[in-house]
Amino acid sequence: MADNTMVSTTDVISAAIAEQVRALGGDAEAIDNISHAASYAVICWSLAAAERGQSIPREPINNGQSSTEGKGKTCAA
């Protein structure tokens, strides 16, 4: 992953899929290839959504349950 505060979509996807890809026999190159392809798809979707005036809906974390951590915060990609 990047060694700075800026994290790319590819970094996030790589971290999310690495364990599963390795479990299926994949290596670092496979993880890299998959994460780049998925990042491209995310970018294409987000640009198309922006062209149509759409956005990613934001929903409260934990549906506003009693947890003090995260209450009222939102999560969006």
Residue 74's pLDDT is 43
Q: What is the pLDDT of residues 22-73, one digit of tens each?
A: 999 999 999 999 999 999 999 998 888 888 887 666 666 665 554 445 444 4
What is the chain's length? 77
Residue 62's pLDDT is 60
Q: Give me 36's structure tokens.
A: 């780049």
How far is the C-alpha of 42 from the C-alpha of 63, rounded, in Å? 25
Q: How confident is the model at residue 6 (pLDDT cuts 50, 70, 90)?
A: low
pTM for the whole structure: 0.60
Buried (b) or exposed (e) across 32-68, using 16+ Cβ within 10 A?
Answer: eebbeebbeeeeeeeeeeeeeeeeeeeeeeeeeeeee
**Over 50: is that where the pLDDT of 75 sits?**
no
Round the CA-based radius of gyration of the chain to a whole number and report it: 16
